[in-house]
Amino acid sequence: MDESSLQSQFEHDFSTSTQSVHGKNAANSPYYALHTPIVHSATYRFDTTQHLLDYMEQKTWGGGADRVEYARYGNPTIRDVEDKLALLDHGADAILFPSGMNAITTLLLTVLRAGQHLVMTDDCYSRTRQFALQWLKRFNIEVSMVPMGDYEALECAIIPQRTRFIISESPTNPFLGIVDLPRLVDIARRQQVMTMIDSTFATPINQKPLDFGIDFVVHSATKYLSGHNDILAGVLVGADQGRMRVIRDGRGILGGMIDANSAYLLSRGLKTLGIRVQQQNHTAQQVAEFLEKHPNVERVWYPGLVSHPDHAIATQQMCGFGGVISFMIRGDMATTRRFMDALRIPFIAPSLGGVESLIEQPAVMSYYDKELDERLELGMTDNLVRFAVGIEDTNDILADLAQALEQL
């Protein structure tokens, strides 16, 4: 897409997302409340035994019911937010979890069986990779890691009759690699394998993988979706209602139920998702272009830059490039630490996607427990920095980066 097409698509998706999260059907809102009420109840009553029997009949044989009997299986506040999230990602259904990792682990534990096989790209989130390589092995589930962007290696890694799933991220963390979604879907369909994309960095505003044929999308709702760094949450959105029903049942067994208060805060955050992401897209593009020209910066990774290896793919399937930039300071560990400490606006902290700018040096935070050789094998050099922009004034952020870099 060219710049005008991207802007047009963004405006359409922003309008759609705003309608999705604000809904105007008051008849479906308890007490005609403007905001989704927080329902505090661990258990739910039935008026008569016939009422209970009708419910159980519908739940067991009718493919679902419009209410629940116990909080581990659902909650009206949570269900309302799930409906909004399904609309945002163009999914058949969405399931909320207490964290993004819980969404991923529940999905894999529900759909995978002993003796089956999983293919994963190597630029996935460290905890996702850890769960796949260390925990799934305990259940006799084999995992193959393939280089991000190597589709020939990915297809070769598929074992006929055994490979069940391909999972990846787009954009990836921290190098912002972009999966060629149509190509991935083509491979998966020919090989009869399911697909999952962690789309946390993109948000449903910038990218909708289900529209390309991906089976499942995961978001750490802690990040952009809630947007205020005050809750933990995760969401799984699926294209097939039947598969999602199985996973919803799995959530009830495994117990990964988010609380109603967090669901409410997530619902409140969704109302400003579009305008927050629009500001973060704009600021991140400006920051990436500034950093790429600065003599004290060695290299920059951002999909909105022509220099990014996946820029062409990103422009074809994304409406915006997100709020995270990764870059390398020209110098060593000490030089990079001086740069970090000289900044005044971003907080040194993990996570991303909130209204506050956050910055981290992966070597001393996310990968501190790794030996140097392990870190370097993953590309986590001492001078690598990941910057997640917030919604502060763009010029203020640029000025802050400039003064910190000049001190080097």
SS3 218: strand
Residues 186 and 265 in one domain: yes
Query: Has residue 54 been placed in a domain?
Result: no
The Cα–Cα gap between 322 and 318 comes to 9
| Distance from C-alpha of 210 to C-alpha of 285, rounded to nearest angstrom | 26
Q: Kindly report the CATH number assigned to the domain that includes residue 366.
A: 3.90.1150.10
At 22 the pLDDT is: 54
| Residue 55 clears pLDDT 80, i.e. is over it | yes
Neighbours of 156 (CB within 10 A): 12
- Same-domain status, 256 and 117: yes
Q: What residues have CB less than 8 Å from 296, skipping those under 6 apart?
A: 329, 330, 331, 339, 405, 406, 408
Average pLDDT value over all residues in the chain: 91
Q: Which of 72, 129, 183, 299 is catalytic?
A: 72
Distance CA 383, CA 367 (A): 13
Residues 238 and 290 in one domain: no
Percent of the chain surpassing pLDDT 90: 80
47 HSE (CA, 13 A, CB side): 2
Decide if 223 is catalytic.
yes
SS3 label, residue 343? coil
Is 243 in the same domain as 320? no
Asked if residue 329 is part of any domain, the answer here is yes
Which pLDDT score, from 0 to 100, does residue 65 have? 72
pLDDT of residue 102: 98
Instruction: Say yes or no: 124 and 158 in one domain.
Output: yes
Q: Are residues 238 and 340 in the same domain?
A: no
CATH of the domain at 264: 3.40.640.10
> Is residue 59 very low, low, confident or very high in pLDDT (cuts 50, 70, 90)?
confident
Last residue of a domain, one of 270, 303, 331: 270
**CA 89 – CA 37 distance, rounded (Å):** 23
Query: Catalytic one among 55, 125, 224, 264?
Result: 125
Q: Are residues 180 and 90 in the same domain?
A: yes
Q: What is the pLDDT of residues 103-123, one digit of tens each?
A: 999 999 999 999 999 999 998
- Active-site residue (options: 223, 243, 248, 375): 223
Q: State the catalytic residue, choosing from 198, 259, 310, 382.
A: 198
Task: Determine the 3-state secondary structure of 161 from DSSP.
Answer: coil
Summarised one tens digit per residue, pLDDT across range 63-98 is 667 788 899 998 999 999 999 999 999 999 999 999
52 in a domain, yes or no? no
| 50 located within any domain | no
- pLDDT value at residue 30: 59
Is 47 a domain residue? no
End residue of a domain, out of 270, 299, 331: 270
227-272 confidence digits (pLDDT tens): 999 999 999 999 999 999 999 999 999 999 999 999 999 999 999 9
Q: Are 121 and 148 within 8 A, CB to CB?
A: yes
Q: How far apart are the first and last CA of the chain?
A: 38
Decide the pairing of beta strands 117-121 and 297-301.
Answer: unpaired
Report the alpha-carbon angle 292-286-381, nearest 5.
Answer: 40
d(CA 162, CA 155): 13
Active site residue 125: yes
Q: Which of the pair, 282 or 57, is modelled with greater confidence?
A: 282
The answer to whether residues 325 and 251 belong to one domain is no
| Contact (Cβ atoms closer than 8 angstroms) between residue 291 and residue 264 | no
The reply to whether 61 falls in a domain is no
Q: How many separate domains does the chain show?
A: 2
CA 354-390-323 angle, 5° bins: 90
Domain that holds residue 300: 275-406
pLDDT tens for 167-224 read 999 999 999 999 999 999 999 999 999 999 999 999 999 999 999 999 999 999 999 9
Q: Which residue, of 242, 270, 298, is where some domain finishes?
A: 270
**Inside any domain, residue 29:** yes
According to the model, what pLDDT value does residue 265 have? 97
Question: 87 and 190 share a domain?
Answer: yes
Q: What is the pLDDT of residue 324?
A: 98
Q: In terms of Cα–Cα distance, which of 199, 174, 268, 180 is closest to 227?
A: 268
142 and 251 co-located in one domain: yes
Residues 122 and 253 in one domain: yes
* Catalytic residue list contains 73: no
Provide the sign of the torsion angle of the four alpha carbons 159, 164, 170, 175, taken in this order. negative
Domain contains 53: no
Together in a domain, 367 and 250: no
Tens of pLDDT, residues 26-37 = 445 556 788 889
